[in-house]
Structure 1
Amino acid sequence: MSSLEKLLLNASSSLGEGEPEIQGRLLECAGALADQILGMLRQRNGFYALESALHVFPARSSQHELGISDWNENALWRSRYNGLADGCLFFAEDVFGGQFCIKGNRIYTFDPELGSLEYLADTIEQWAQTLLRDYEFLTGYPLAHQWQKQNGQLPVGKRLVPKTPFVLGGEFTLDNLHLIDAVEGMRLRADLAVQIKDLPDGAQIRFSVGD
């Protein structure tokens, strides 16, 4: 059994309907991995796994779920990063809204607080293998589990965003997490990333997440 099959074995049912399809510039961003991302979506067209700590977007939006095409629209949140998110196909996210994306035929994590990429894998199978090997760190599973134990299942379209950003010293604790709309969470962190970029040490930064 492949690592992707193992991941899907404990994942939700498909979040989208119909034949998965990715078009235009997004297909270009996927590059050599286009067939692989479509292959995964044909097996499970979007899903939640690891107690919703991992969220893979379906190909198309539905009444309750944003699809890959809409999630990658510049006007939704990407343009707020002032070029830091350009050239990427964002296809999944962790419980904090940290993104998994394809760029230049490789798979990366995208830190929403910094707008930075970190190499993760060369293929979707390697991505799944790496996730299963280090899922607690890569998805935020322990905090997702603890939060849901106290508050119930994470609502669709919501992520747990730190009140004090991790990059500014915020702790990985339940007290520092705020349930927020995933899109709004990305917009807030985009503003933070743009402020941080090229700032000297000790410069003041404005950031606010409601209680």
Structure 2
Amino acid sequence: MGPSVQKLLEIAGTPFVRDIECSIESLDHLGEIGTSIRDVLARKNGFFCFESALRFFPSVTVETSWGLAEWNSSDLWKADYRGLANNIFCFAEDVFGQQFAVCEGKIGTFEVETGDFRTVALSLEEWASMMLLDYNQMTGFSLAHEWQVRYGPLRPRHRLMAKTPFVLGGEYSLENFAALDSLQLMKTLGNLAHQIHALPDGSKVKFKVI
């Protein structure tokens, strides 16, 4: 385990799951990154970091968080992306529900409003280093902090969703965000991403919270 991953674990909150046993066979296909995720879960089985702006999913679903297996199942929220999320394995998320995922041996961000995947790192150590160096940009920490100062702490399974999505011209301001259950958020934005994927600029879409 590299120094950046160790540092991230040190500053993270208490684990979501006290039982540190982790036996997720589905991580094997992720290669070295999967091994690194296993190592993290063996030390701290799911956690929040940066005042809950970053969530690292635990091995199993508990009251405070979805677990890796269920969160990555094809019939939970991925179905609403209608193929756009089929090839990714999500292991963490930022305060806006943006997914940090593994795809073809690389770590990237899955843009929940558009369904696009953008590579950001080649290992979990590199990803953790980026988190520590620029956690505000990577997790939305500043806005999450300000929002929670004004409106109170986010519920464990809630994330912040833009009332008017960024892709539709929404502003990056406190007034444009509302707390929403993470599953509801993903299903809603999955429907949006499906509509706008590959559409030319200026096309009309229907945005409705599911």
TM-score bracket, shorter-length normalisation: over 0.9
Q: Distance in 1 between matches of 2:72 and 2:138?
A: 21
Aligned with residue 23 of structure 1, among 22, 25, 32: 25
Partner Cα distance (2:34, 2:187) in 1: 27
Deviation at 1:169, TM superposition (A): 1.2
Tell me the secondary structure at the aligned position of residue 172 of structure 1: coil
List runs of 5+ in structure 2 lacking aligned partners: none
Write out per-residue CA displacement over residues 53-90 of structure 1, whole angstroms, 9 at most, x where no aligned residue. 00010011123321101111111101111111112110
8 Å Cα contact 1:31/1:104 also seen in 2? no
1:197 and 2:197 matched: yes
Partner of 2:5: 4
Instruction: Quote the Cα distance in structure 2 between the aligned partners of 1:169 and 1:49.
Output: 29
Name the aligned partner's letter for residue 195 of structure 1: Q
State the one-letter code of the partner of 1:200: P
1:186, 1:27 → 2: CA distance? 26
Shift of residue 200, structure 1, vs aligned partner: 2.0
Please state how far the C-alpha of 1:199 moved relative to its aligned partner. Answer: 1.3
Secondary structure of the corresponding residue to residue 183 of structure 1: helix
The answer (yes or no) to whether the contact 1:100–1:107 under 8 Å persists in 2 is yes
What is the deviation of 1:21? 2.3
Q: Which runs of 5+ in 1 are unaligned?
A: none
Give the Å deviation of 1:27: 3.5
Q: Is the 8 A contact 2:28 2:35 kept in 1?
A: no
Residues 163, 208 of structure 1: 8 Å contact kept: no
Q: Give the superposition deviation at 1:152.
A: 2.0
> For the residues of structure 2 that align with 1:61 and 1:201, how far apart are their CA atoms?
39
What letter is aligned with 2:77? W
Give the equivalent residue in structure 2 for 1:136.
136
Structure 1 equivalent of residue 92 of structure 2: 92
Once the 2 structures are TM-superposed, how far is the Cα of residue 18 of structure 1 from its aligned partner? Answer: 3.7
Determine helix, strand or coil for the equivalent of 2:185: helix
Task: Note if contact 2:81-2:191 (Cα within 8 Å) is conserved in structure 1.
Answer: yes
Give the equivalent residue in structure 2 for 1:102: 102
Could you report, residue by residue, the CA deviation over 1:97-119 in whole angstroms, capped at 9, with x for unpaired residues? 00000111110110000101111
Pairing of 1:1-211 with structure 2 (within 5 A): 2-16=3-17, 17-24=19-26, 26-28=27-29, 30-209=30-209
Counterpart secondary structure, 2:39: helix
Distance in structure 1 (CA, Å) of the matches to 2:169 and 2:203: 15
Quote the RMSD (CA, aligned, Å): 1.5
Instruction: Answer yes or no: is the 8 Å Cα contact 2:20–2:41 preserved in 1.
Output: no
Paired residues, number: 208
Instruction: Indicate the percent of aligned positions where both proteins have the same amino acid.
Output: 40
Task: Please give the secondary structure, in 1, of the residue aligned with 2:178.
Answer: strand
Measure, in 1, the Cα distance between the counterparts of 2:77 and 2:201: 27
Are 1:163 and 1:209, in contact at CA under 8 Å, matched by a contact in 2? no
TM-score of the superposition, structure 2-length normalised? 0.94
